[in-house]
Amino acid sequence: MTDITLLPQVTAFLDRQQGHYIHGQSVAGAGVERFAVVNPATGLAIAQVNEGSQAEVDAAMQAAFDAFHGSWAQVSPLERGNCLTRLADLLQTHREELAQLESLCSGKTIQLSRGLEIDMASQFLRYFAGWSSKISGETLNVSLPSFQGEQYSAFTRCEPLGVVVGIIPWNFSIMIAIWKLAAALTCGCTVVLKPSEYTPLTMLRVAELATQAGIPAGALNVINGSGARLGPMLIAHPRCAKVTFTGSVPTGIAVGKAAMEQGIVRTTLELGGKNAAAFLADVSVDKMVDGIIEAGYLNQGQICAAAERFYLPASHIDEVLAKLTQRLTAMKVGSPLDESTEVGPLANEAHYRKVLALFDKARADGSQIVCGGQALAGPGFFVAPTAIRANGPHDALMREETFGPVGTFLAYEDEEQMLAMINDSPYGLAASLWTNDLSKAMRMIPRIEVGTLWINMHTFLDPALPFGGVKSSGMGREFGSAFIEHYTELKSVMMRY
């Protein structure tokens, strides 16, 4: 197979000097600095983006503030949902264009860009659109007695927070941004997004489509540039009512601290971790291998909910690792724009270097590299799909996030020991348990310390189910109805008559 042909609108978009999207318009910005967007499959620059400055931060935050009190506030709840639905339609109309841009910037395979990034983003938009007309308070009975015949009435209102700053990572540059903008807009908030500096292009195109969908100027803005510089500026801005962040644990802690110091700015943090997948001995070896690939290797493992530590029964581990090695070494690694590719490059050079350093750490620990464990020859940031057998629960790769196509495996003798090892982690975003014995699974579910637990499946995010971490994996929940409390303030109203 060969690479697909790039659409002319994709090459035209890449040729444009890109910057930001503020108040319904693409703007170059006042700054003179530029940064390059690098295609991780080739290591070559494919576009140039102007670095944001305080001037663009101020303009975007003011535009969002004005829209919050003006144009977006005047849009009825039902129409807010219609805007999101029209945006979902436009994502579908421009599916191939957006998918190609995403694959060029992030190295995601084109099949995944189309089917997961764009199609799932559309589904999430439609889900959130449905909430716009259903966000309401309740009528309450006042509990205290009436002393002199006076009466009371009370109710609550869910009021939108204001301007929401969304800070987005590079692994799903469209879908994660859509989670945040859809949640904010459906509640009546307005948004300023800061994409990752590695993947700054796709949201500029989505923002243009949002304007086309009828979302008024200023309700959705995009600022590009260094997170370490622009992040603190956005969070410290007096118009910032909330920050919603997805990314690494250390940056999440910095974001949370900055938000608290800026007068308790509301915060949702969706951070990574070291997710576990545990297989009970009643599962067949073939099902274990399928489950491991589903849980750990999609998008080169660059999914915050992906499993990285695998617990296998001691009786099965040798056979599972032998079969897994056959499957991993047979995977087609190659150009993300080739429709038959199963494994693309890691998304950027810094991340690639981090994963290679973790392989060195595994070797230094004496962990056994069962397969992979190295970079692949040629240009681009490719590493081989990797399986590592740990000596014990304290090996570095059983504890540190790799965020790569890397599973680390440990044998267990009894299920109590396995449950203790799953919970012996500072993180708790997600886990999966694989067994045919659902009665046993039901007894284990309350004992596993995570925000999302899958049984006989992994990495499947549904908009109807709340998503977020426990322990150091984050704070707050996205999706379901749980997101509403994170994008609105509850106001209590009490009346005497």
Helices of type H across 391-488: 415-423, 438-444, 484-487
* Residue 209: both structure tokens together: 């489509």
Q: Which residues contact 173 (CB under 8 A, 6 or more apart)?
A: 102, 105, 106, 117, 195, 196, 199, 202, 203
Minimum separation from the CB atom of position 272 to ligand TXE (A): 3
Q: In terms of C-beta density within 10 A (0-12 exposed, 13-18 middle, 19 or more buried), how is residue 284 classed?
A: exposed
Residue with smaller CB distance to ligand TXE, 227 or 468: 227
Residue with smaller CB distance to ligand TXE, 254 or 421: 254
Q: Does residue number 403 form part of the binding site for ligand TXE (CB under 6 A)?
A: yes
Q: Does residue number 458 form part of the binding site for ligand TXE (CB under 6 A)?
A: no
- For ligand TXE, the binding residues in 177-236 under the rule CB under 6 A are 194, 196-197, 227-228, 231-232
270 is known as an active-site residue: yes
Residue with smaller CB distance to ligand TXE, 36 or 322: 36
What is the C-alpha to C-alpha distance for residues 266 and 268, in angstroms, rounded to an integer?
7
Q: Are 495 and 153 a contacting pair, CB within 8 Å?
A: yes
* Residue 158: both structure tokens together: 């869910």
Task: List the one residue from 68, 128, 170, 359 that touches ligand TXE (CB under 6 A).
Answer: 170
Site string for ligand TXE, 294-333 (x = CB under 6 A): ----------x-----------------------------
Task: List the one residue from 34, 354, 399, 440 that touches ligand TXE (CB under 6 A).
Answer: 354
Minimum separation from the CB atom of position 448 to ligand TXE (A): 19
- For ligand TXE, the binding residues in 82-121 under the rule CB under 6 A are none
Minimum separation from the CB atom of position 396 to ligand TXE (A): 14
Amino acid at 7: L
* Residue 170: both structure tokens together: 């590079």
Task: List the one residue from 29, 162, 169, 200 that touches ligand TXE (CB under 6 A).
Answer: 169
Minimum separation from the CB atom of position 109 to ligand TXE (A): 18
Q: Which residues contact 98 (CB under 8 A, 6 or more apart)?
A: 91, 113, 117, 118, 174, 202, 205, 206
Cα separations (Å) of 445 from 233, 415, 441, 459, 479?
A: 42, 13, 6, 17, 21
Amino acid at 317: I
- Catalytic residue of the set 208, 270, 294, 478: 270
Cα separations (Å) of 140 from 148, 253, 492, 494?
A: 21, 37, 9, 9
- For ligand TXE, the binding residues in 236-265 under the rule CB under 6 A are 246-248, 251, 254-255
What is the C-alpha to C-alpha distance for residues 15 and 104, in angstroms, rounded to an integer?
13
Residue with smaller CB distance to ligand TXE, 51 or 401: 401
Residue with smaller CB distance to ligand TXE, 81 or 256: 256
Residue with smaller CB distance to ligand TXE, 221 or 251: 251
How many residues at the interface with ligand TXE, by CB under 6 A?
25
Nearest-5° angle of CA 330, CA 332, CA 333? 120
Minimum separation from the CB atom of position 246 to ligand TXE (A): 5
Residue with smaller CB distance to ligand TXE, 194 or 309: 194
Minimum separation from the CB atom of position 244 to ligand TXE (A): 11
Cα separations (Å) of 227 from 51, 53, 182, 203, 439?
A: 11, 11, 22, 16, 47
Q: What is the CA radius of gyration of the chain?
A: 24
Q: Does residue number 428 form part of the binding site for ligand TXE (CB under 6 A)?
A: no
Residues that bind ligand TXE (CB under 6 A): 167-171, 194, 196-197, 227-228, 231-232, 246-248, 251, 254-255, 271-272, 304, 351, 354, 401, 403
* Residues marked as catalytic: 270
